[in-house]
Structure 1
Amino acid sequence: MLAPVRTAAPASTPISVAEAKSHLRIDISDDDGLIEAYIAAAVDHLDGWSGILGRALVTQSWRQDFAGFGCLRLPLGPVASITEIKYFDDDNVQQTLANTVYTHLSDALGTYVALKPDQVWPSSYSRPDAVSITYAAGSAAADVPPALKAAIFLMVGNWYANRETTTETAMTELPIGAYALMSPYRRIGV
């Protein structure tokens, strides 16, 4: 399985600059750009394939390529919908698989694409990207778990107050509370 590719970024972040300013107790706009950058950095640290949570926060589009049909596990969740499945047929011509053939299900390992009853996978050309699944993962910004929003607030607050790598009062990369808030939402590979 190849690494997933994000095809459309989220339209918003889990928290707004106004919410972060309220958390920081700031009522001037001088540092809005800096706060926005800290929010983006916190989200980048948590979100997507390269984020430490291994999940999508706010709805975004991803593509996962496979060498063929079979167990088609989607590495990022929560999966909202499957947009399309394309595959290269025996003649190496890209086709779109009808959505009447498949569905997506979840188990303890996450979401996967499976055949509907009485359906069969078509044959595919031998190549590492023979099957491509495009899907929406994440949720609306308002539906991001409160603990993850709180972790982002803590990270932004820490970076805003401590603009150096280490200070006399803060000798950790991130506030310990942020890790505690994130921990239940980390996707760990089995």
Structure 2
Amino acid sequence: MQRILLEGPEVEPVSLAEAKAHLRVEHEAEDELISAYLVAARVALEGDLRKVLIAQGWRLVLTEHPHGGRLRLPIRPLLSVDRARLMTASGERLLEEDEISLGGAADELRLDARLWGMIRLQIDVTAGFGETAAEVPAPLRQAILLRAAHWYEHRGAALEADGPGALPAGYERLIAPFRELVAA
């Protein structure tokens, strides 16, 4: 399944002002750098969790019908299914609401059996905890602050990606409750 970012978040979960207060930075000379660290910390956290934090628009492209008609979304948590377009040998059309619906889990879609002849399916979704920073859980916002501050304070330091010191103390504990449990 191909994933395409259509629209990134309108705001970051942690503002520049919050980060500067956390870092005790009062000048504006490094605002651009701190802002870049905030974006990078959010993106890294989203990768760690396999979830997006703030509302973002994504397109999912399927070229095979999912097993059992159920599609586990790789972009979570789901806020809405905005549009679904089906391409078959006879053309393309938008799907009706009864042809695609939420499954038993909030991150699963059910596709109607009538769609089995598809060549390609494009599903546009909006995902994230919400549209504002306040809707992102506080521990995740704190994890962004910790990581951005760590990068700011250790600029230029060659840190091993998986070695000690690569992540600030407490980071893993903050994000652990939001990680997905994967069955063995």
TM range (shorter): 0.7 to 0.9
Q: 1:68 matched to which residue of 2?
A: 65
TM-score, normalised via structure 1 length: 0.82
Match of 1:17 in 2: 16
SS at match of 2:134: helix
1:123 CA drift (Å) = 4.3
Q: Secondary structure at 1:173's aligned position in 2?
A: coil
Give 1:161 deviation, angstroms. Answer: 1.4
The answer on 1:132 being equivalent to 2:129 is no
Name the counterpart of 1:174.
167
What is the percentage of aligned positions where both structures have the same residue? 30
The structure that is helix-richer by fraction is: 2
Deviations 1:118-144 (A, max 9, x none): x7533433x4xx112110000222211
1:161 aligns with 2:159: no
What is the total number of aligned residue pairs between the two structures?
175
**Is 1:89–1:123's contact at 8 Å kept on the other side of the alignment?**
no
Q: Secondary structure at the match of 2:32?
A: helix
**Distance between the aligned counterparts of 1:29 and 1:104, measured in 2?**
46
Superposition deviation, residue 55 in structure 1: 0.5
TM-aligned CA deviation for residue 90 of structure 1: 3.8
Give the equivalent residue in structure 1 for 2:96.
98
Q: For the residues of structure 2 that align with 1:123 and 1:166, how far apart are their CA atoms?
A: 51
- Structure 2 distance, partners of 1:122, 1:164, is 52
Deviation at 1:106, TM superposition (A): 4.5
What is the CA distance between 1:159 and its match in structure 2? 1.4
Inter-partner Cα distance in structure 1 for 2:156 and 2:115: 56
User: What is the CA–CA distance in structure 1 between the aligned matches of 2:180 and 2:78, rounded to whole Å?
Assistant: 13
Query: How much is the aligned-residue C-alpha RMSD, in angstroms?
Result: 2.2
- Structure 1 residue aligned with 2:41: 42
Give the structure-2-normalised TM-score.
0.84
Task: Answer yes or no: is the 8 Å Cα contact 2:146–2:168 preserved in 1.
Answer: yes
